[in-house]
Amino acid sequence: MQDITSTGIYGTPPAELAEAPAGSIQFSPLIPGSRRLEDQAEGSLTDMVVLAPPGTVERRYTAALALRALAPGGALTILAPKDKGGSRLAKELKAFGCEVGEISRRHYRICSCTRPAELAGIEEALAVGAPRFDDRLGSWTQPGVFSWNRLDPGSDLLGRNLPALSGRGADFGCGIGILSRIILSSPKVSHLAMLDIDRRATEMAARNVEDARAEIRWADLRSGVRVAGLDFVVTNPPFHDGGAEDQNLGQSFIRRAAESLRSGGVLWLVANRHLPYEGVLKPLFKRVTLKAEASGYKVYEAQK
Protein backbone atom coordinates (compact mmCIF):
# COMPACT_ATOMS: atom_id res chain seq x y z
CA MET A 1 0.00 0.00 0.00
CA GLN A 2 1.29 3.46 -0.92
CA ASP A 3 2.38 5.66 2.00
CA ILE A 4 0.61 8.97 1.49
CA THR A 5 2.33 11.51 3.74
CA SER A 6 3.87 14.08 1.40
CA THR A 7 2.71 17.64 0.85
CA GLY A 8 3.47 19.73 -2.20
CA ILE A 9 3.84 23.35 -3.24
CA TYR A 10 3.91 24.92 -6.68
CA GLY A 11 5.61 28.30 -6.96
CA THR A 12 6.02 30.84 -4.16
CA PRO A 13 2.59 31.98 -2.96
CA PRO A 14 2.61 34.79 -0.39
CA ALA A 15 3.03 33.08 3.00
CA GLU A 16 0.40 35.29 4.60
CA LEU A 17 -2.17 34.04 2.09
CA ALA A 18 -1.34 30.34 1.78
CA GLU A 19 1.60 28.79 3.56
CA ALA A 20 2.58 25.22 2.76
CA PRO A 21 3.70 22.92 5.60
CA ALA A 22 7.42 22.74 6.30
CA GLY A 23 9.11 20.10 4.17
CA SER A 24 6.66 20.42 1.28
CA ILE A 25 7.99 19.25 -2.08
CA GLN A 26 8.50 22.11 -4.56
CA PHE A 27 7.17 21.40 -8.06
CA SER A 28 7.52 24.72 -9.90
CA PRO A 29 9.25 24.46 -13.30
CA LEU A 30 10.61 27.97 -12.66
CA ILE A 31 12.60 26.96 -9.55
CA PRO A 32 15.67 24.93 -10.62
CA GLY A 33 15.98 21.65 -8.77
CA SER A 34 12.24 21.23 -8.23
CA ARG A 35 10.50 17.96 -8.95
CA ARG A 36 8.34 17.42 -12.01
CA LEU A 37 4.68 17.43 -11.03
CA GLU A 38 4.07 15.40 -14.18
CA ASP A 39 6.05 12.55 -12.63
CA GLN A 40 4.36 12.57 -9.23
CA ALA A 41 2.43 9.36 -8.65
CA GLU A 42 -1.35 9.66 -8.74
CA GLY A 43 -2.88 9.87 -5.27
CA SER A 44 0.49 10.29 -3.53
CA LEU A 45 0.06 13.68 -1.80
CA THR A 46 -2.06 14.68 1.19
CA ASP A 47 -2.00 18.44 0.56
CA MET A 48 -1.03 20.78 -2.25
CA VAL A 49 -0.65 24.57 -2.35
CA VAL A 50 -0.47 26.15 -5.82
CA LEU A 51 0.27 29.68 -6.96
CA ALA A 52 -1.60 29.37 -10.23
CA PRO A 53 0.02 30.50 -13.50
CA PRO A 54 -1.75 33.36 -15.33
CA GLY A 55 -2.23 31.61 -18.69
CA THR A 56 -5.51 29.71 -18.98
CA VAL A 57 -4.13 26.57 -20.61
CA GLU A 58 -1.11 26.41 -18.29
CA ARG A 59 -3.28 27.10 -15.22
CA ARG A 60 -5.78 24.33 -16.00
CA TYR A 61 -2.90 21.95 -16.78
CA THR A 62 -1.23 22.71 -13.44
CA ALA A 63 -4.48 22.37 -11.48
CA ALA A 64 -5.19 19.06 -13.20
CA LEU A 65 -1.72 17.76 -12.35
CA ALA A 66 -2.14 18.85 -8.72
CA LEU A 67 -5.53 17.19 -8.37
CA ARG A 68 -4.23 13.99 -9.97
CA ALA A 69 -1.32 13.88 -7.51
CA LEU A 70 -3.61 14.23 -4.48
CA ALA A 71 -5.15 11.27 -2.74
CA PRO A 72 -8.98 11.28 -2.69
CA GLY A 73 -9.93 13.66 0.10
CA GLY A 74 -6.56 15.42 -0.14
CA ALA A 75 -6.66 19.20 0.23
CA LEU A 76 -5.85 21.63 -2.58
CA THR A 77 -5.35 25.36 -1.99
CA ILE A 78 -4.87 27.33 -5.19
CA LEU A 79 -4.63 31.08 -5.54
CA ALA A 80 -3.87 33.80 -8.06
CA PRO A 81 -4.27 37.58 -8.41
CA LYS A 82 -7.80 38.43 -9.51
CA ASP A 83 -6.59 39.96 -12.78
CA LYS A 84 -4.22 37.05 -13.56
CA GLY A 85 -6.61 34.14 -13.55
CA GLY A 86 -7.83 34.30 -9.96
CA SER A 87 -11.35 35.29 -10.94
CA ARG A 88 -11.66 32.08 -13.02
CA LEU A 89 -10.16 29.58 -10.58
CA ALA A 90 -13.40 28.51 -8.88
CA LYS A 91 -15.17 27.87 -12.17
CA GLU A 92 -12.25 25.83 -13.49
CA LEU A 93 -12.04 23.70 -10.34
CA LYS A 94 -15.79 23.05 -10.39
CA ALA A 95 -15.43 21.83 -13.98
CA PHE A 96 -13.02 19.19 -12.62
CA GLY A 97 -15.73 17.97 -10.24
CA CYS A 98 -14.57 19.79 -7.09
CA GLU A 99 -16.69 21.52 -4.46
CA VAL A 100 -14.95 24.83 -4.00
CA GLY A 101 -14.66 27.36 -1.19
CA GLU A 102 -13.43 30.80 -2.23
CA ILE A 103 -12.22 33.92 -0.41
CA SER A 104 -10.65 37.21 -1.53
CA ARG A 105 -7.63 38.77 0.15
CA ARG A 106 -5.16 41.40 -1.00
CA HIS A 107 -6.32 41.31 -4.62
CA TYR A 108 -6.01 37.50 -4.70
CA ARG A 109 -8.68 34.86 -5.07
CA ILE A 110 -7.93 31.87 -2.86
CA CYS A 111 -9.79 28.66 -3.60
CA SER A 112 -9.82 25.51 -1.49
CA CYS A 113 -11.25 22.08 -2.22
CA THR A 114 -10.68 18.41 -1.59
CA ARG A 115 -9.94 15.97 -4.35
CA PRO A 116 -13.12 14.09 -5.21
CA ALA A 117 -13.07 10.34 -5.73
CA GLU A 118 -13.91 10.90 -9.41
CA LEU A 119 -12.39 13.77 -11.38
CA ALA A 120 -13.91 15.22 -14.55
CA GLY A 121 -12.12 16.70 -17.55
CA ILE A 122 -8.62 16.00 -16.24
CA GLU A 123 -7.33 14.15 -19.31
CA GLU A 124 -8.47 16.91 -21.66
CA ALA A 125 -6.71 19.59 -19.59
CA LEU A 126 -3.54 17.50 -19.43
CA ALA A 127 -3.56 16.89 -23.17
CA VAL A 128 -4.10 20.56 -24.07
CA GLY A 129 -1.30 21.71 -21.74
CA ALA A 130 1.22 19.06 -22.75
CA PRO A 131 4.21 19.51 -25.09
CA ARG A 132 3.36 19.62 -28.78
CA PHE A 133 5.12 20.19 -32.10
CA ASP A 134 4.24 23.56 -33.61
CA ASP A 135 4.46 23.53 -37.41
CA ARG A 136 4.71 27.33 -37.62
CA LEU A 137 7.71 27.37 -35.30
CA GLY A 138 9.10 24.11 -36.61
CA SER A 139 9.77 23.27 -32.98
CA TRP A 140 8.58 21.43 -29.91
CA THR A 141 6.94 23.78 -27.43
CA GLN A 142 4.62 23.83 -24.42
CA PRO A 143 2.04 26.30 -23.06
CA GLY A 144 3.59 28.46 -20.35
CA VAL A 145 7.02 28.67 -21.94
CA PHE A 146 8.07 32.13 -23.19
CA SER A 147 6.57 32.85 -26.62
CA TRP A 148 5.38 29.24 -26.78
CA ASN A 149 3.01 29.65 -29.75
CA ARG A 150 4.59 32.44 -31.81
CA LEU A 151 7.98 33.65 -32.95
CA ASP A 152 8.98 36.43 -30.57
CA PRO A 153 9.69 39.57 -32.67
CA GLY A 154 12.74 40.44 -30.57
CA SER A 155 14.29 37.01 -31.07
CA ASP A 156 13.41 37.21 -34.76
CA LEU A 157 15.19 40.57 -35.14
CA LEU A 158 18.24 39.34 -33.23
CA GLY A 159 18.39 36.10 -35.22
CA ARG A 160 18.30 38.00 -38.52
CA ASN A 161 21.21 40.22 -37.45
CA LEU A 162 23.52 37.68 -35.84
CA PRO A 163 26.82 37.15 -37.67
CA ALA A 164 28.42 33.74 -38.00
CA LEU A 165 29.82 33.33 -34.49
CA SER A 166 32.80 31.23 -33.47
CA GLY A 167 34.37 29.61 -30.45
CA ARG A 168 32.72 28.92 -27.10
CA GLY A 169 29.54 30.78 -26.24
CA ALA A 170 26.23 30.82 -24.42
CA ASP A 171 22.58 31.53 -25.07
CA PHE A 172 21.29 33.16 -21.87
CA GLY A 173 17.56 32.50 -21.53
CA CYS A 174 17.58 30.04 -24.42
CA GLY A 175 13.85 29.26 -24.33
CA ILE A 176 12.95 26.42 -26.67
CA GLY A 177 16.15 26.93 -28.67
CA ILE A 178 15.13 29.25 -31.53
CA LEU A 179 18.28 31.41 -31.33
CA SER A 180 20.51 28.49 -30.39
CA ARG A 181 19.76 26.76 -33.69
CA ILE A 182 20.81 29.90 -35.57
CA ILE A 183 24.01 30.17 -33.50
CA LEU A 184 24.88 26.53 -34.12
CA SER A 185 24.40 26.92 -37.86
CA SER A 186 27.93 28.35 -37.82
CA PRO A 187 30.43 25.47 -38.01
CA LYS A 188 33.00 27.61 -36.20
CA VAL A 189 31.02 27.43 -32.94
CA SER A 190 32.74 24.80 -30.81
CA HIS A 191 30.45 24.78 -27.75
CA LEU A 192 27.20 26.45 -26.76
CA ALA A 193 25.86 26.58 -23.21
CA MET A 194 22.08 26.94 -23.34
CA LEU A 195 20.64 28.15 -20.04
CA ASP A 196 17.07 28.85 -19.00
CA ILE A 197 15.19 29.17 -15.70
CA ASP A 198 12.18 27.28 -17.10
CA ARG A 199 12.54 23.50 -16.94
CA ARG A 200 9.91 23.06 -19.63
CA ALA A 201 11.90 25.32 -21.99
CA THR A 202 15.06 23.27 -21.50
CA GLU A 203 13.11 20.06 -22.11
CA MET A 204 11.74 21.46 -25.38
CA ALA A 205 15.17 22.84 -26.32
CA ALA A 206 16.62 19.34 -25.87
CA ARG A 207 14.13 18.11 -28.49
CA ASN A 208 14.74 21.03 -30.83
CA VAL A 209 18.53 21.23 -30.69
CA GLU A 210 20.15 17.89 -31.41
CA ASP A 211 23.77 18.97 -31.62
CA ALA A 212 26.73 17.54 -29.73
CA ARG A 213 28.12 21.05 -29.27
CA ALA A 214 25.10 22.12 -27.19
CA GLU A 215 25.00 21.84 -23.40
CA ILE A 216 21.51 22.54 -22.03
CA ARG A 217 21.19 23.57 -18.38
CA TRP A 218 18.17 24.35 -16.21
CA ALA A 219 19.52 27.25 -14.18
CA ASP A 220 18.78 30.68 -12.74
CA LEU A 221 21.41 33.08 -14.06
CA ARG A 222 20.78 35.42 -11.14
CA SER A 223 21.95 32.86 -8.58
CA GLY A 224 25.61 32.72 -9.47
CA VAL A 225 25.69 30.19 -12.32
CA ARG A 226 29.33 29.94 -13.35
CA VAL A 227 30.37 30.14 -16.99
CA ALA A 228 33.62 31.89 -17.88
CA GLY A 229 36.06 32.62 -20.68
CA LEU A 230 33.38 32.75 -23.35
CA ASP A 231 33.92 34.15 -26.82
CA PHE A 232 30.31 35.26 -27.16
CA VAL A 233 26.98 35.51 -25.36
CA VAL A 234 23.63 35.86 -27.13
CA THR A 235 20.54 36.86 -25.18
CA ASN A 236 16.98 38.07 -25.39
CA PRO A 237 16.65 38.70 -21.64
CA PRO A 238 13.32 38.69 -19.81
CA PHE A 239 11.95 41.89 -18.38
CA HIS A 240 8.87 40.57 -16.60
CA ASP A 241 8.74 38.71 -13.31
CA GLY A 242 5.37 37.31 -12.30
CA GLY A 243 3.71 39.48 -14.93
CA ALA A 244 5.17 42.79 -13.67
CA GLU A 245 7.91 44.64 -15.54
CA ASP A 246 11.27 44.26 -13.83
CA GLN A 247 14.18 45.96 -15.61
CA ASN A 248 16.60 44.45 -13.09
CA LEU A 249 16.17 41.08 -14.83
CA GLY A 250 17.68 42.27 -18.10
CA GLN A 251 20.34 44.25 -16.29
CA SER A 252 21.37 41.14 -14.34
CA PHE A 253 21.71 39.21 -17.62
CA ILE A 254 24.00 41.94 -18.96
CA ARG A 255 26.18 41.84 -15.85
CA ARG A 256 26.37 38.05 -15.96
CA ALA A 257 27.35 38.21 -19.63
CA ALA A 258 30.15 40.68 -18.85
CA GLU A 259 31.44 38.35 -16.12
CA SER A 260 31.29 35.34 -18.45
CA LEU A 261 33.07 36.82 -21.47
CA ARG A 262 36.81 36.84 -22.05
CA SER A 263 38.50 40.13 -22.91
CA GLY A 264 37.51 40.87 -26.50
CA GLY A 265 34.43 38.62 -26.31
CA VAL A 266 31.12 39.93 -27.62
CA LEU A 267 27.58 40.18 -26.31
CA TRP A 268 24.67 40.20 -28.73
CA LEU A 269 21.55 41.54 -27.03
CA VAL A 270 18.02 42.37 -28.13
CA ALA A 271 15.76 44.54 -25.98
CA ASN A 272 12.52 46.48 -26.15
CA ARG A 273 13.24 49.98 -27.32
CA HIS A 274 12.02 51.58 -24.09
CA LEU A 275 14.36 49.63 -21.81
CA PRO A 276 17.33 51.75 -20.60
CA TYR A 277 20.07 49.14 -20.95
CA GLU A 278 22.69 51.45 -22.44
CA GLY A 279 23.54 52.76 -18.97
CA VAL A 280 24.39 49.22 -17.84
CA LEU A 281 26.22 48.21 -21.02
CA LYS A 282 28.62 51.14 -21.38
CA PRO A 283 30.50 50.81 -18.06
CA LEU A 284 30.97 47.05 -18.61
CA PHE A 285 32.02 46.96 -22.27
CA LYS A 286 34.65 48.94 -24.15
CA ARG A 287 32.49 49.23 -27.28
CA VAL A 288 28.68 49.24 -27.58
CA THR A 289 27.13 49.42 -31.04
CA LEU A 290 23.46 49.63 -32.01
CA LYS A 291 23.24 47.13 -34.89
CA ALA A 292 19.53 47.14 -35.71
CA GLU A 293 16.26 48.74 -34.66
CA ALA A 294 12.78 47.71 -35.82
CA SER A 295 9.27 46.91 -34.57
CA GLY A 296 9.92 48.38 -31.12
CA TYR A 297 13.16 46.43 -30.55
CA LYS A 298 16.86 47.23 -30.75
CA VAL A 299 19.87 44.94 -31.19
CA TYR A 300 23.25 45.71 -29.63
CA GLU A 301 26.71 44.29 -30.10
CA ALA A 302 28.93 44.95 -27.09
CA GLN A 303 32.62 44.04 -26.94
CA LYS A 304 34.24 43.27 -23.58
Q: Would you kindly state where each structural domain of the chain is located, as residue ranges?
A: 6-129, 132-303
Q: Is the pTM of this model over 0.85?
A: yes
> What is the pLDDT, as a whole number, of residue 158?
98
Query: How much is the average pLDDT of 90-105?
Result: 97
25-26 sheet: strands from edge to edge: 25-26, 6-10, 45-51, 70-81, 108-114, 101-105
pLDDT score of 295 more than 50: yes
CATH of range 132-303; options 3.40.50.300, 3.40.50.2300, 3.40.50.150, 3.30.110.40: 3.40.50.150
Distances (CA, A) of 249 to 29, 121, 180, 200: 18, 37, 20, 20
Give the span between the Cα atoms of 242 and 25, in whole angstroms. Answer: 21
Tell me whether the CATH fold assigned to 6-129 matches the one assigned to 132-303: yes
Q: Mean of the per-residue pLDDT values for the chain?
A: 94
Confidence of residue 222 (pLDDT cuts 50, 70, 90): confident
pLDDT score of 84 more than 80: yes
Query: How much is the average pLDDT of 249-263?
Result: 93
**CB proximity list for 3: less than 8 A, separation 6 or greater:** none
Q: Are 1 and 43 in contact (CB under 8 A)?
A: no
Give the span between the Cα atoms of 10 and 28, in whole angstroms. Answer: 5
Beta bridge partners of 47: 7, 75
Confidence of residue 188 (pLDDT cuts 50, 70, 90): very high
> What is the pLDDT, as a whole number, of residue 52?
98
Query: How much is the average pLDDT of 202-215?
Result: 98
Q: Does domain 6-129 sit in CATH 3.40.50.11810? A: no
pLDDT score of 1 more than 50: no
Segment among 129-133, 166-170, 224-228, 297-301 with least mean pLDDT: 224-228
